[in-house]
Structure 1
C-alpha cells in the first residue's frame, strides 16, 4: 500500500490574514512540501496540471524533475496530466525523459480536465473531452511500446515512421493511472488497458465512487487482467489534523468557509459527514481512512490533499509531520488480513520484474 500527497497548486488568499502568496512563493512551497513528504516517510508526491489562474503547476515534469534531483525514494506522479489538451507525443517524450532522470521513480495520472476555457487555448473542444481522452491515450500507449509508429486519428496530424525519444527506461513505460470524478468511460478505458484507476474521492459521497470503482473492477476482470479484487485502485482524500478534534475544526473552519472549492455551500459539519473530508484528531483520520477499504475493497494507493485553500506553508508542514506519525498505524492496519493475491501498487522495479518473468511455455520446457 502506497501513501502520499497530491497538490492542485492553487494560489488562494489566507482568510485569516488576507495575504495571498505570490506565484513564486507557491511554487517554492510546493517543492518544499514534496521534500517534506519524503522526510516523513510518504511514498508518493503528485502535482496537478493547470493552465489558468489561480493555479501555478503548468509544467509538472519541470517541477518533478527538480524534486527528483533532491530526493532518493519518493515516487513522482501527477494528479492529473491532461490527456485531452496535451499532445500525446509530448507526454511520451516528457515523461520518458523524467523517468530516466528519476531512475524510474515516475508514474502519472491521466485526466480530462474540466475547465472549459482551457480547451480552446490548446486548439481543442471540451465537448470532445471523452473522444480526445480515448484517442490520445491509444496513441500514447503505442508510442511507449512500439519503436516505430504509424498513426492516423481525428484530433492530430498523422504520424509516419515516428519514434518517440528517449525510449522508456529499461523498455518499460511509466505506470498509468486514469483519474476520474464522474466518467464511466474513463473507468472502462483503465480496465481495457489493465492500467490503474484513481477515484478522486473528494467532493462526492462514497456511493458515487463505489459505482465507478465497481465498474472498473468488473471490466478489469472482463478484459482478462485478473480478478476484480486484483484491479489496481487509487483513492484521494482530504485531511486536517490537530491533537484535539475541536482545535482542528476551529482552525480549519475559516479555510473551509472561504475556499472557492468549498465555500458558500454545505457546512463543514455536513461536508465531513457526507464526503471523505476528515477534520479532527489523528485517530479520527486513521479511523475514517481505514473505512475506505470497507467501501471500496483492498486498494493500492492513498493520496491526501493537505496544502489547499490558502493554508500557510508552516501549517502544511505540521500536517505532514502528523501524517508521518500515523503512517505506521495506517500501513499496519491496511496490511492486516490483506489477501495474498491482491497486488501491491506497481513500481518501475516491479514492472521490470514482471516483464522478465518466464512465460508458462518457458517454464515447462
Structure 2
C-alpha cells in the first residue's frame, strides 16, 4: 500500500501571526515538503492544479519535473489534473515528458476541479463538465496507446494522423486515477477503463464514501477487469498531530476556523466527527485511518493533506516527521494484516511494464502453439 501527501498549494495568511507568505515562498515550501516526504519514507507526493488566487500550482508538471531531479524514489502525482479545461494533447505530451525525466516515477489524478470561473478562462462551459471529462479522457487514453491517431469530437479541433511526442516511457502510459468527491459518472469512467478511482473524502462522511467506492468496485467487475475487491482505490485524509491531543486541538483550531475552504463553517469538533479529519495524537491518526478500511475495503493509496490553511513550513515538516516515524510504519503493518492475496498493490511503472511484458510473452507463446498446430495439420 502506498502512503503519501497531497497539497492544494493555497497561499493563506497564518491566523496566529497575520503573515502571508509570498508566492515564491509557498512554491519553495511545496518543494521542501516533497523532499521531506521522501526523506521520511513516504511513497507519493501529489500537487493540485489551480489557476486562481489564493493558489499557486498552475503548472504541476513544471514543479514535479523539478522535484524529480532532486528525488530518487518518490512517486510524483497530481491532485488534480484538470481534464476538463486542459487540452488532452498537452496532458499526453507533458506527462510523457515527465515520465522520461523521472524514470517512470509518475502517475496522475484526473478531475474536473471545483472552481467554476476556470472553465470560461480556458474557453469551456462548466455545464459541460462531465461531457468534457468523458470526451477528453477518451482522447487522452488513445493518444498514449496509439502511435497515430485520427479523431473527431465535440470540444476541440479534429486530429488527423497525429502522433503525441514523446511516446510513453517503455510504451507504458502513466497510471491514471480518476478523482471525484461526488460524481458517480467519474466512478463509472474509472471502472470502464480499469483505471484507479481516488475518492478525496476529506469533506464527506463515511456513508457517502462507501457508496461511491462500492459503485466503482461493482462497475469495475462489470467491465471484466477483475473482482470488486481487485479494483484500485485511493483515499484522501487530513491530519494535524501533536503528541498530546489537547495540544493538537488548541494549536490547529485557529487554522481550521480560518481555512479558505471550510473556515467559518462547522466547528472543528463537528468536522472531525463527520469527516476523515483527524486532529490529535499519532495514535489517533492511526486508529481513524485504519477505520477507513471498514467502509472502503482493502485499498491501494492513502494521501494526507498536511500543509494547508496557513500552517508554517516548520510545522508542516514536523507533521511529516510524525507521519514517517510514528504513523505510516504502523499503518503499513496493520493494513498488511489479513489483506487477501488477490488484492493488488498500487500500480507503478515497473509493475505495469512487467504486466505488459508478461501479456506479450503469453501472446507470443499462444501464437507459437497455433503455428505448431497448423504445421502438424499440414
TM-score by length of 1: 0.99
Question: In structure 1, what is the Cα distance between the partners aligned to 2:112 and 2:201?
Answer: 16
Q: Give the equivalent residue in structure 2 for 1:346.
A: 347
Secondary structure in structure 2 of the residue aligned to 1:185: helix
1:362 aligns with 2:365: yes
* CA apart distance, 1:267: 0.6
Q: Distance in 2 between matches of 1:54 and 1:233?
A: 30
Q: How does 1:51-70 map to 2 (within 5 A)?
A: 51-70=51-70
Question: How far apart, CA to CA, are the structure 1 residues paired with 2:123 and 2:262?
Answer: 31
Structure 1 residues 78-127: Cα deviation after superposition (integer angstroms, max 9, x where no partner): 00000000000000000000000000000000001121111001000000
Q: Matched residues in 1 for 2:149 and 2:260: separation?
A: 44
Q: What is the CA deviation profile of residues 328-364 of structure 1, one whole-angstrom value per residue up to 9, with x for unaligned ones?
A: 1110000011000000000000000000113378269
- TM-score normalised per structure 2: 0.96
Q: Secondary structure of the residue that 1:226 maps to in structure 2? A: coil
- Structure 1 runs (4+) deviating above 2 angstroms are 358-365
CA–CA separation in structure 1 for the residues paired with 2:114 and 2:290: 30
Gaps of 5+ in 1: none
Superposed, which structure 2 residues align to 1:71-82 within 5 Å?
71-82=71-82
Separation in 2 of the partners of 1:24 and 1:127? 34
Cα distance in 2 for partners of 1:328, 1:25 equals 31
Give CA-to-partner distance per residue, 1:200-231, whole Å, 9 cap, x none: 11001011111110000000000000000000
The alignment covers a number of residue pairs equal to 365
- After superposition, the CA RMSD in angstroms is 0.9
**Residue aligned with 1:202, SS:** helix
Q: Does 1:102 find its partner at 2:105?
A: no
Give 1:77 deviation, angstroms: 0.1
Distance 1:252 1:344 in 2: 34
- Aligned ranges 1:82-93 → 2 under 5 Å: 82-93=82-93
Once the two structures are superposed, the pairs formed by residues 225-244 of structure 1 within 5 Å of their partners are 225-244=225-244
Cα distance in structure 2, aligned partners of 1:68 and 1:115: 28
**Deviations 1:225-250 (CA, angstroms, capped at 9, x unpaired):** 00000000000000000000000000
- Provide the C-alpha distance between the structure 2 equivalents of 1:328 and 1:297, rounded to a whole number of angstroms: 20
Aligned to 2:237, the other structure's residue is in SS state coil
TM-superposition CA deviations, 1:130-168 (whole Å, max 9, x none): 000000000000000000000000000000000000000
Give me the whole-angstrom Cα distance separating, in 2, the residues matched to 1:361 and 1:212. 39
SS in 1 for 2:147: coil
Instruction: Tell me which structure has the larger Cα radius of gyration.
Output: 2
Separation of aligned partners in 2, 1:79 and 1:136:
18
Structure 2 distance, partners of 1:349, 1:51, is 33
Report what 1:28 is aligned to.
Answer: 28
Matches of 2:211 and 2:77, distance apart in 1: 25
CA–CA distance in structure 1, aligned partners of residues 90 and 277 of structure 2:
35
- For 2:5 and 2:123, how far apart are their aligned partners in 1? 32
Distance (whole Å) between structure 2 residues aligned to residue 47 and residue 203 of structure 1: 18
User: What is the DSSP-based 3-state SS (H/G/I as helix, E as strand, rest coil) of the residue aligned with 2:45?
Assistant: strand
Indicate the residue corresponding to 2:373 in structure 1: none
